Chain A
């Protein structure tokens, strides 16, 4: 059994991920998704808000986690726009605002061109301080975010009327890749504002940590690309109905094809490893 070079495993993984991407790129097909409760809870929480409500959206990731999180950001933004809700975007990661701009450009500016910056949505940019930022916005939002990304004072933005602290938002969404992220939002914002609903989109790595806060302090969560795909399917079904969904709104579901084959390969490897282990054990038992 010492004959298996680990490079064969690497090659198999490469094919298991690369071929479905090509297959999917050529045929355009995706697998159907049935939502699990945490994803459904995200959808329901947004559906429940009255039109015109303001929603705090925090982009707490950078390009390294874009593969998992950008589709969530796109779906959240599309859902918010469709429901005529007003996202106030901030970021705890330095590269978050850039990611937010990309999402705003691809969703709002392209598909909802009637929405006005500063009135229907706004990007307040990044602030250093990690959880320190969260502690401050719990009591004084404007102290941490005095101006929007282009330097306009928050006091002059209609979307910010009457917002003085994080608790003034009925809903907060964090799209987070690690520290600071979902856990810090729970600890410093959700815990101290019982009326506030917190949703999180998290990477697979974070999911196991953040799960312990669901469904108490965390009303809903999208876990990894699977959660993104489920939520994306829910949003597509609500908005597009039977029409064809634009390619940028199927990104998460496209990524599920390589997931499936990657997972199947891993399962096959675990089975193979155990088969080899038990075969070897039997040999030893016979001829010590």
Chain B
């Protein structure tokens, strides 16, 4: 019963959204649904936070290896929630100085801002930067001229890498004007403009078909694994 109602909700919701772009009366619906989804996702944080607390508390109470790190996670989580929800150190917004809670939680000088700037940003942006190292090791390992396909991959990356720096200008800058299309920096642009455009377009069209097909499978209930097992 519960599953049948769920499938019905899925079907009706999906069909409504499918026809809404064609009905002049339905122009805002997509935005409304997106808002509702955001609210739902925000409320779902209770579930996520609960899972996080449970896992870390279990580890802490079991005193298994690394339980100290669980304590650190819990502390970091609690402190961030406290200073953010409590707007610790936030001054009122200039447009309403009489309302002490009117400031944004991440205003310069607040505790939440401090955590964002000095804890979260350095860690996340360094993790982002670590990709430069991973790109290097991946390129070293994977770009081998084993066959025609692999060679194309490798050669293209090569041209782009050279063409997008000063090195490309130095290496092929001597080419005369009538052959300027072969200069590395222009070759890089051509690859992007022609081959990359064609490849990406086909991938994008394919994805759109895949999304449509997946959507139909979901709406018709062919694919209902997300609804769980029992009746």
Contact = CB atoms under 8 A, between A and B. Distances in A.
Direct interface between A and B, CB < 8 A: yes
Interface of A: 6, 9-10, 12-14, 17, 31-34, 36-38, 63-64, 128-130, 132, 135-136, 150-151, 207-209, 211-212, 214, 223-224, 226, 256, 259-260, 262-267, 269-270, 272-274, 277-278
Given A31-B166, A226-B165, A9 B125 contact: no
B200 A269 contact: no
Interface in B178-219: 185-186, 188-189, 192-193, 196-197, 200-201
20 contacts: A36-B186, A38-B189, A63-B121, A64-B124, A150-B94, A151-B93, A207-B192, A208-B196, A211-B193, A212-B196, A212-B197, A256-B165, A256-B166, A263-B162, A266-B135, A269-B136, A269-B139, A273-B139, A274-B143, A278-B145
Contacts of A33: 166
B144 interface: yes
Contacts of B185: 34, 36
Nearest to B143: A270
A285 to B, nearest CB: 14
Interface in B124-158: 124-125, 128, 132-133, 135-137, 139-141, 143-146, 154, 157-158
A6 B165 contact: no
A109 B128 CA distance: 32
Contact of B145 (A130, A135, A211, A274): A274
Contacts of A10: 133, 136-137
A13 B136 contact: yes
Interface of B: 30-31, 34-35, 38, 93-95, 121, 124-125, 128, 132-133, 135-137, 139-141, 143-146, 154, 157-158, 161-162, 164-167, 169, 185-186, 188-189, 192-193, 196-197, 200-201
B140 A270 contact: yes
Given A10-B137, A260-B165, 5 more contacts: A6-B137, A13-B133, A33-B166, A63-B125, A226-B164
